[in-house]
Structure 1
Amino acid sequence: MTLRNKWPLLFCLLFTAHLIGMYPAKSQFLWRCCLILPAIAHADVEILHPVSGCIFPPDVPAPEILWRDSDPAPNHWNLVIEFNDIGPGYSQTIEQPGWRPSPEIWKEIQDRTVNNAAVVRVYRSDQDSLSGDRVILQTVDTPLSAPVLLHEQATSAQGSRTCQLRITRISAPGGLLPATVSESLSGYVRNSFGGSHLLFVPEQTPGAEGFYLLPLNTHLFLDPQYHFFPPAPGGQIFSPAPAPGGKQVVAVVASQAGNKASSGPPAGLLYRWDAENGVATPVPGASDPGYLYATPAWSPDGIWLYFSRLKLTSDTAAHWTLMRLNMDVGASGRPVPVVSTPSQHTTHPSPSPDGRWLICEQRSAQPAALTAVCSTLILMPSRGGRKRPLFCNRTCPRPRKVSWSPDSRWILFSSGTCSADGDLWVSHIDPFGNDSPPVRWNAKTPDGMTTVQALFTGSLQSSAPPVLHPETRPSRIAYIQGTLAAASGKSSEAIGFFQAALKLSPGYLEAARALFSLCMKTGSYAEAIPAIKRLCPAAPASAEPLFLLAALYMQTGALEDAEQRVITGLSRAPLNTRGLKLAAEITQKKHDDEQSIRYYTRYLNQKPDDHCARTALARLLAENGDRELAVATLAVYKPKQLPEPLTGP
């Protein structure tokens, strides 16, 4: 750099310092104006990290300051830190293009830069400081105290572990809390506001086996109070979003049109699951088959649901629009546009916990960009308004998957499709929605794993032993305990265990069968009915729960309820022999001989060797005056071993 090029740079620095002296309240803004200074003249040294203008949390570990030199020959650089206070600065000669402050030096830097910027300079030791580069950094007094949940996947197919979840703290350099859960929690992962609940969907067949919502603690333990949500009434489940408090979940149920869509995230119709009964129902205002819906997210008060919507049309100019829907008004709710930018897809809304801000992803809707993963993060007021791109779009490749800290002052996000070395990024958001350049945070991913998502969590519950396999689900444990109690002759205890298993997992058909058999054997019909009733909506496509419930109602004398269930079950499985015989027995008890004869006839067409049913049909025919048909019915039955004929005296 020539002397002629240095004078404009010196003038701008002196003029900015003069303005800061006149307007100290505007110092942060004026220091940000200095970000253009490195672009005034070409420097021989370029600082790669941190980015000028970044803001550090007070509890973050010391970052590594990295730079590169245009000339590979130099091996000595001067590093100087100038503070904006009356104390002395710091300087050191470095022999490699990188330096990490010791904990003691970093603590001093943080203490002296709280709401007060400092300048870091790096230049060749044989030249003056203006030949190098400089960055401005600052610390705020808002800590990053919330733990972070890391969702990691294997980078290759080798090894047994394909997915794991870990909890760590940004304030602990490489120090992870002792929490690891592998295959049993693999799949889509989301957490509710405050981080109090964790939701996951098995990744092998998303939604085919239901999904789980459980309280989150430091060991990711499958707490006995977790909720099991049965499979959707059709299609796979994507982008599940738990409501604040975990009382309900909204997710995308893939549709045929959504499977054919070539742009945007996995799409379909939106369904809502209630944690009390596990029943899935379409979301009014977000289940119109003329549209596709994707990426739902709740507002922190649980009133508004944000999602993206795409109109099904042959128009290539169609784009994903960000909508919001009032979930308190029921079926009368109508979605309202929040962001609708022509030629831009707007997806993945992420509301701040204080309800003020909304971050979403935007990318081009042009056909040439359909397969691109490049996106831009934009921030706006949560109810719509002026939107602007975040600073991180300029410094990070493809920022995505934003997570807000519980106090809404920090955002955590990944860069690109994944980060093999565990690098994530943290940016500060001030009360006016202004974001700082991001700070890199290395989560120290274990060998062979890559971080695909990072989520801030709230205050965690007390620790408990980790659960590493689905066989240790609380419902499964209760079922095994019930089986052992039944084998020991402790029927009442076994019934209690089976009821507990069905309360934890209402769709647990194996536990329902065991409870049914035991109650039929012991005559405790009334104890099984509530649990089997919860099973029916949990398995809406299955006829077996209805037949079990009908048999229990028949034993208690509630023949109308029994007939209603068995008819519904036969509408789902018309040739089910268990249902046909049960229908025949129920109508026989109701003295509806005509219907009973029809059901017995249909049943014997499927099971002609059932002598008891054939005898019951013959008796009904005889009682109704058709003795010839009764005799013919019995004559059709030919057992393999005929008994000796009985002779009278």
Structure 2
Amino acid sequence: MRKKAFGLIILVAGLITAAFLCRTLRRNTYRIEDVLAVYQEDADYDAITIEHPLDQTLFPPEMIPPEFRWKDSASASLAWLVRIGFADGEPCMYYPAQRRKWTPRPEDWQAIKTRSLEQDAEVVILGISAAESPRILSRARMSFRTSKDPVGAPLFYREVNLPFLEADKDPSRIRWRFGSIASAPPPVVLDNLPVCGNCHSFSRDGKTLAMDVDYASRKGSYAITEVKKQTVLAPEDIITWMDQEDSHDTHGLLSQISPDGRHVVSTVKDMSIFVPKQSLAFSQLFFPVKGILCTFDRETGQFRDLPGADDPRFVQSNPSWSPDGEHIVFARAAAPDLQNTKHQGYIWLTPAESREFISTGEPFLYDLYRIPFNGGKGGTAEPLEGASHNGMSNYFARHSPDGRWIVFCRARSYMLLQPDSELYIIPAEGGNARRLCCNTSRMNSWHSWSPNGKWLVFASKAYSDYTQLCLTHIDENGCSTPPVLLAHLTAPKRAANIPEFVNARPGSIATIHKQFLDD
């Protein structure tokens, strides 16, 4: 008897739910012409805030259909109508939405991109009531364009699980992707690496890959190999920064290969602050407090300290080559007194020593300096105007391919993974620093120029605790456009970092083989 009564209750509950859903769906169904009949352009409606894309966004021609997302201040809005108008004089395009987000179908998006090529497309989103006759409650307007400039190059980037300590326990879960922004997402080309793999860079022609890898239990190991469809990391491709004179304890931090692929510059004799954190978004604090720059010549096999960037009174790190290979820009700060630390000569301070170091609350500020490479002979390091001695921390410089501009990060303190870091641009020789309008609300870093110099990819945490990639267009005057979120490039609960455009075709790397592990 009880079973029958319980079954009857379940049946009644199901019927009530079905009836509710039926009424809700029926209420949320409307005819577009009925909505347009009551719409008034000059009426005062409640506000809808479009979170993405932002007003005046410029999409690359390769962009796949983006997700339009919004917040509606009118709580009674239960359905929405998206209208897209164009400058070509042809009829608008209309799309109903049952939720506060909408993604165009691929065929519609292709038509939208064609009609918005180098001219505004105006988007109007209307919030509609659930009454029998539709009533417009809210509205938003924005515009966007599609650029004639293609991105024209694939991205190579790392996809990491969070928090950092979990990724560090099992580095085999970290993976690398390579492909076009038109991929959703690009294919994985390297995974199941049981040792730590970190910073990577490519030569300017895209034919040489260099990246940090732990090899034979040595943290200072570095792989340099030829890019092929079946790329191989072989034992003979690996050098170690510990082979540099008096560098038996070194990480080889933030290394970068030269544009011609002959030299590599890195931070050696380094010591860093490392503090793990519980926060998912910012699960570590890491920055160097000691180190000099060292170069490696692949032709001669020689390591060499870089004169002018080898002063032990300073920490000199985070180097970046000019496109012609003639100069190196790096971050410099006064080295702190570490005489009382227990880990003198080791790669990082203990977590306790690191916490004590930052407990004073004193900012640790880096300035950008520029030094001639001079075939490894170095020279005098000069501070870069606009990116030095400005009361902020300046780091992660990246030159535009034509050598005209440098985009760098600016934060209140420290380096790498800073919540307040923003992107600024200066002339390559230094000058007035301008904040790029592509900056998001939380962390902007790890940026890379497309080979044609038209686009800049960067990492942000504005939309998720898991770092995502964004894209902006840079014009000939060094002005940027609002960020385009590339949410389709990463899998759920994965953070994307260290993105780099590669001067190659998508598919030119299918797999990176870990042959050195078999040695």
* Length-normalised TM-score, structure 2: 0.74
Structure 1 counterpart of 2:323, from 274, 281, 300 = 300
Q: CA deviation at 1:402?
A: 0.4
Structure 1 residue identity aligned to 2:61? P
Structure 2 residue identity aligned to 1:321? D
1:326–1:173 CA distance, 2 compared to 1 (3 A): same
Structure 1 counterpart of 2:233, from 222, 243, 260 = 222
Greater share of residues in strand: 2
Q: Distance in 2 between matches of 1:365 and 1:237?
A: 23
1:179 maps to 2:179: no
Q: CA deviation at 1:112?
A: 1.1
Q: Distance in 2 between matches of 1:418 and 1:254?
A: 37
> Which runs of structure 2 are paired with 1:452-531 in the superposition (5 Å)?
452-460=497-505, 466-468=512-514, 470-472=516-518, 476=519
Q: Distance in 1 between matches of 2:63 and 2:107?
A: 13
Q: CA deviation at 1:130?
A: 9.1
Gaps of 5+ in 1: 1-6, 12-40, 477-649
> Which runs of structure 2 are paired with 1:276-287 in the superposition (5 Å)?
276-287=299-310
Contact 1:60 1:144 in 2 (8 A): no
1:203–1:375 CA distance, 2 compared to 1 (3 A): farther
Q: Distance in 1 between matches of 2:416 and 2:180?
A: 36
> Bigger shift: 110-119 or 449-458?
449-458
Please name the residue that 2:32 is paired with: none
Secondary structure of 2:113's partner?
A: helix
Contact 1:424 1:443 in 2 (8 A): no
Q: Distance in 2 between matches of 1:180 and 1:310?
A: 35
Contact 1:182 1:468 in 2 (8 A): no
Structure 1 residue identity aligned to 2:400? S
Q: Distance in 2 between matches of 1:42 and 1:378?
A: 37
Please name the residue that 1:580 is paired with: none
Q: CA deviation at 1:160?
A: 7.5
Contact 1:154 1:161 in 2 (8 A): no
1:267–1:145 CA distance, 2 compared to 1 (3 A): farther
Per-residue deviation, residues 477-515 of structure 1 (Å, max 9, x unmatched): xxxxxxxxxxxxxxxxxxxxxxxxxxxxxxxxxxxxxxx
Structure 1 counterpart of 2:372, from 326, 339, 342 = 326
Q: Distance in 2 between matches of 1:318 and 1:422?
A: 24
Q: Distance in 1 between matches of 2:465 and 2:514?
A: 24
> Bigger shift: 105-114 or 177-186?
177-186
Structure 2 counterpart of 1:309, from 316, 326, 332 = 332
1:432–1:254 CA distance, 2 compared to 1 (3 A): same
Structure 2 counterpart of 1:402, from 433, 442, 447 = 447
Q: CA deviation at 1:337?
A: 1.1
Structure 2 counterpart of 1:202, from 205, 209, 213 = 213
Secondary structure of 2:109's partner?
A: helix
Q: CA deviation at 1:89?
A: 1.0
Q: CA deviation at 1:254?
A: 3.8
Structure 1 counterpart of 2:146, from 139, 147, 152 = 139
Q: Distance in 2 between matches of 1:200 and 1:184?
A: 15
1:351–1:132 CA distance, 2 compared to 1 (3 A): same
Q: Distance in 2 between matches of 1:286 and 1:388?
A: 27
Structure 2 counterpart of 1:432, from 470, 477, 489 = 477
Q: Distance in 2 between matches of 1:140 and 1:79?
A: 22
1:129–1:146 CA distance, 2 compared to 1 (3 A): farther
Q: CA deviation at 1:448?
A: 5.8
Q: Distance in 2 between matches of 1:402 and 1:359?
A: 8
Residues paired across the two proteins, number: 432
Please name the residue that 1:363 is paired with: 411
Per-residue deviation, residues 40-70 of structure 1 (Å, max 9, x unmatched): x994311111011110001110101111212
Structure 2 counterpart of 1:110, from 104, 110, 113 = 113
Contact 2:153 2:503 in 1 (8 A): yes
> Which runs of structure 2 are paired with 1:378-417 in the superposition (5 Å)?
378-393=424-439, 395-416=440-461
> Which runs of structure 2 are paired with 1:75-154 in the superposition (5 Å)?
75-126=78-129, 131-154=138-161
> Which runs of structure 2 are paired with 1:253-292 in the superposition (5 Å)?
253-255=268-270, 264-265=287-288, 267-292=290-315
Contact 1:270 1:286 in 2 (8 A): yes
1:182–1:50 CA distance, 2 compared to 1 (3 A): same
1:236 maps to 2:239: no
1:288–1:179 CA distance, 2 compared to 1 (3 A): same
> Which runs of structure 2 are paired with 1:555-566 in the superposition (5 Å)?
none
Counting aligned pairs with the same residue, the percent is: 25
Secondary structure of 2:152's partner?
A: coil
1:189 maps to 2:199: yes
Q: Distance in 2 between matches of 1:451 and 1:370?
A: 14
Contact 2:448 2:500 in 1 (8 A): yes
Greater relative CO, 1 or 2 (CA 8 Å, sep 6+)? 2
Per-residue deviation, residues 601-642 of structure 1 (Å, max 9, x unmatched): xxxxxxxxxxxxxxxxxxxxxxxxxxxxxxxxxxxxxxxxxx
Greater share of residues in helix: 1
Per-residue deviation, residues 108-138 of structure 1 (Å, max 9, x unmatched): 1111111101111112135887941111100
Structure 2 residue identity aligned to 1:168? G
Q: CA deviation at 1:299?
A: 0.6
1:392–1:341 CA distance, 2 compared to 1 (3 A): farther
Contact 2:468 2:495 in 1 (8 A): no
Q: Distance in 2 between matches of 1:112 and 1:44?
A: 27
1:376 maps to 2:399: no
1:321–1:115 CA distance, 2 compared to 1 (3 A): same
Structure 1 counterpart of 2:177, from 166, 187, 198 = 166
Q: Distance in 2 between matches of 1:417 and 1:115?
A: 28
1:221–1:71 CA distance, 2 compared to 1 (3 A): farther
Contact 2:265 2:295 in 1 (8 A): yes
Q: Distance in 2 between matches of 1:317 and 1:214?
A: 39
Please name the residue that 2:6 is paired with: none
Structure 2 residue identity aligned to 1:441? L
1:319–1:423 CA distance, 2 compared to 1 (3 A): closer
1:225–1:109 CA distance, 2 compared to 1 (3 A): farther
1:47 maps to 2:23: no
Q: Distance in 2 between matches of 1:287 and 1:212?
A: 24
Secondary structure of 1:427's partner?
A: strand
Please name the residue that 2:394 is paired with: 346
Please name the residue that 2:266 is paired with: 251
Q: Distance in 1 between matches of 2:378 and 2:82?
A: 64
Contact 2:273 2:287 in 1 (8 A): no
Q: CA deviation at 1:184?
A: 6.0
Q: CA deviation at 1:219?
A: 4.5
Contact 2:304 2:376 in 1 (8 A): no
Secondary structure of 2:232's partner?
A: coil
Q: CA deviation at 1:82?
A: 1.2
* Length-normalised TM-score, structure 1: 0.60
Secondary structure of 2:172's partner?
A: coil
Secondary structure of 1:111's partner?
A: helix
Q: CA deviation at 1:466?
A: 4.2
1:84–1:420 CA distance, 2 compared to 1 (3 A): same
Q: CA deviation at 1:280?
A: 1.8
Larger radius of gyration: 1
Q: CA deviation at 1:453?
A: 2.6
Q: CA deviation at 1:463?
A: 5.4
Gaps of 5+ in 2: 1-39, 276-284, 338-359
Secondary structure of 1:470's partner?
A: helix
Structure 1 residue identity aligned to 2:123? V
1:468–1:211 CA distance, 2 compared to 1 (3 A): closer
Q: Distance in 2 between matches of 1:298 and 1:173?
A: 31
Structure 2 residue identity aligned to 1:140? S
Q: CA deviation at 1:421?
A: 5.9
Per-residue deviation, residues 295-341 of structure 1 (Å, max 9, x unmatched): 10001110010001112468968731111111127546101111213
Q: Distance in 1 between matches of 2:217 and 2:400?
A: 28
Q: CA deviation at 1:468?
A: 3.9
Structure 2 residue identity aligned to 1:239? L
